[in-house]
Structure 1
């Protein structure tokens, strides 16, 4: 009897261990989030792990930009990639050309507990290949917005009765507001990173898109049709702001932000990711002014703004060695959980790409996020090109060609010619 009890106990123990081993899934994840984004992602991963003893995420943060995507490409080539990774949707065309992404199937989405209809169309389209195959799950929509310092606008037509920015419906309106701020003592009425690839590119691309221009079309033509003239006009506008003293001279990113937080600028064109900076400074009593942030106004003919998305993707698997179905299901469970808990990610200023969160009452209370959230419906993503997206030749051209142009070192027309030749050469 003792032997039978021992055998039964041993069998039950082994069964329990086998079941535990089968249920326990370890998901390796690579991301590129640092600063406030990094802290929030770490907190989300920890919360997931705490609530899912059967799935444990082991996250590693790598260097943002080219180093991250180079490591992804190399790891996939040797079959040593992570199970899950963050990804910029602007880099999707290059990722597809390199074969580093695994398609996200309807079954995958079902395992995540989400559907395509749950996401903003703009973000979902950016996550798809030209044939409509989904290769990533959008997590947010991040764009540039217009931050404003109410001090320089008090008593003018540009603040309504509630102290909200109003009355900027054209380029002329915006320049009137900037001149007003300059007359009131603003050191530079508008600040953005005029000596930084991202800062220059995003302002240029927003103006170009608002004119209805195309940087690179689906056939690989750079500034096709009348887009060259529209690009020259965008550069001319930015040059004009420089010549009128409306924007800083050769400002790197950190300096451009400091101009606004120090109360020396009336406006800032920068990403939603600086909302936490503003809130932190405000809470610490470091701001001497009231501020707000709105969608970039319709300065040209079309209401649109440059945007990108952080997304989740699964690296391509070695040929003949697909990911274990249970592991893949676990990966999609992680993605689904992060999407449904994106309200915590939104605290970083981002607009959740998952509409049930973006349209929730909790998000509606989140300011200024809720004020600029409508831009998600008509944002313009980077061209679907292997030379566009973050840390790309298109961004390099902004730093090496457009920035010198807006500082008077070459004409807008010459800048467009150089940029066209540079980018077209990259595509050949």
Structure 2
């Protein structure tokens, strides 16, 4: 699943500037009409629902939609699942042509760009009708993640953060306690040193966004740094905190705690094969590891390497697309669907997610999910990208810096300095393009 997500993330970052450019914005400006289409009374309302759940979570979303259709004969949902790159290519065209789906799911870092281009419509009224408020959520970051320029465009469905998977058999082989994974930087380095003494490179450092970039961002925040200044007019990830974070990563390779030139997904494959002890990866790996025969594995929060707790994460959120002919009945049906799905999010969490609602996080059903519960311990300090349009293009510069430094093509300081200069130019161009 991580490999698919890697391709999707890169595709999203490079696609948004093209698909949602000035031409699309001009076309969208004339596609909204004030007329309201009415469905015949007593008829079944059919909703279209698009998402990018092509991985293992696809079967879970299909089951939820099937259950909804059985429970609500007056509302039937027709779902289309696309790989994320195709999803973002189809959405603007669907809106322009007047064939937009009724409900979609997007990541928090996709919402600002689509909102700025009028692909999405504000849903403050919908959130209010559903009685949603910040205090209901396990993380203020996830609640704020659905906002753009003070308006709500997304309703949180889940969070999916980074966590630390570990191979219990490998730890046992190195004389480490498989039931006490390291929690601090000192404990982590001591464990890596002990593993190295047994000939085991304990942490295979990925030079790719999945999950090298996510590890860098986690460490940057742990060391007290930020990706950008508060107004997102200047990249600041080349700060002392950024250099410390990336140097820590590069030193894992230099000091023999990680092999060089780790391929995409080679880190998690090594964990499965008993060649690796620790793997910082996304919660989406839970079900994949469960399917590996005789693998003894555990999961814990990312250790605090820096001075404070922080971890990279993202969130799927429900959004509504701009319709050429809005329908009150379809909007009401969409509200019912979103509310129904949110209330049954425990079933969705089994796909490899953590809850956004406190009521779900405190439920016996969720507490029985041992792996997800470990990830959820990080909920109070999960961090998301800044909510500004075009941010994915600027974050692509972070990917570049991590790749160059981990592969030994540039020093951490030089790689970050060059990437930050480019990212600063990107965000300044975006402010002009999107009017943030």
TM-score by structure 2 length?
Answer: 0.83
Q: CA RMSD in A?
A: 2.3
Unmatched tracts of structure 2, length 5 or more? 1-38, 430-436
Q: Which has the larger radius of gyration?
A: 1
1:183 maps to what in 2?
Answer: 197
Q: Output one character per residue of 1:236-291: Cα deviation in whole Å (capped at 9) or x when no partner.
A: 1111011122224333333222111111110001000000111122xxx242xx21
How big is each residue's C-alpha offset from its partner over 1:6-59, in whole Å with a ceiling of 9 and x where there is no partner? Answer: xxxxxxxxxxx96531xx111001100012111111111111111111110000
Q: Secondary structure at the match of 1:303?
A: coil
CA deviations on 1:189-245 (whole Å, 9 max, x unpaired) are 1135x2422312101100101112111234223334x85221121111111011122
1:301 aligns with 2:323: no
Counterpart position of 1:280: 291
Aligned partners of 1:217 and 1:383 also within 8 Å: no
Question: Structure 1 stretch 93-102 or stretch 49-58: which is displaced more?
Answer: 93-102
Answer yes or no: is the 8 Å Cα contact 2:57–2:352 preserved in 1: no
Which runs of no fewer than 5 residues in structure 1 stay unpaired?
A: 1-16
* 1:381 paired residue among 376, 379, 384: 384
Where does 1:364-403 land on structure 2 (aligned, <5 Å)?
A: 364-388=367-391, 392-403=392-403
Q: Secondary structure at the match of 2:375?
A: helix
Which residue of structure 2 lines up, in the alignment, with residue 49 of structure 1? 69
Which of 332, 336, 339 is residue 335 of structure 2 equivalent to? 332
Give 1:69 shift: 2.2
Which residue of structure 1 aligns with residue 167 of structure 2? 149
Contact 2:223 2:244 survives alignment (8 Å): no
Q: Distance in 1 between matches of 2:395 and 2:262?
A: 16
On the 8 A contact 2:228/2:234 being kept in 1, the answer is: yes
CA distance in 1, matches of 2:199, 2:113: 46
**How many Å separate the matches in 1 of 2:174 and 2:400?**
38
Q: Encode CA deviations 1:290-340: one digit per residue, 9 max, x unaligned.
A: 21111112110110101110111001234xx4x212211110111111111
Deviates more, 1:32-41 or 1:122-131: 122-131
Shift of 1:383: 2.2
Equivalent in 212, 229, 248 of residue 200 of structure 1: 212
| Higher mean C-alpha deviation, range 212-221 or range 254-263 | 212-221
Q: Which residue of 2 aligns with 1:233?
A: 244
Instruction: Please give the alpha-carbon distance, in whole angstroms, between the structure 1 residues aligned to 2:84 and 2:288.
Output: 20
Q: Within 5 Å, give how 1:72-91 maps onto structure 2.
A: 72-91=91-110
Pairwise mapping of residues 16-165 of structure 1 onto structure 2 (< 5 A)?
19-21=41-43, 24-65=44-85, 67-106=86-125, 108-109=126-127, 112=130, 114-120=132-138, 121-131=140-150, 133-154=151-172, 159=177, 163-165=178-180
Partners of 2:311 and 2:382 within 8 A in 1: yes
Moved more, 250-259 or 333-342: 250-259
Cα distance in 2 for partners of 1:375, 1:117 equals 17
Aligned length in residues: 389
Whole-Å Cα distance in 1 between the matches of residues 56 and 259 of structure 2? 26
Where does residue 407 of structure 1 map in the other structure?
407
* Alpha-carbon spacing, 1:157–1:97, altered in 2? closer, same or farther (3 Å): farther
Say whether the 8 Å CA contact 2:355–2:361 is kept in structure 1: yes
Aligned to 1:216: 228
Cα offset, 1:403, TM superposition: 1.0
TM-fit CA distance, 1:166: 4.2
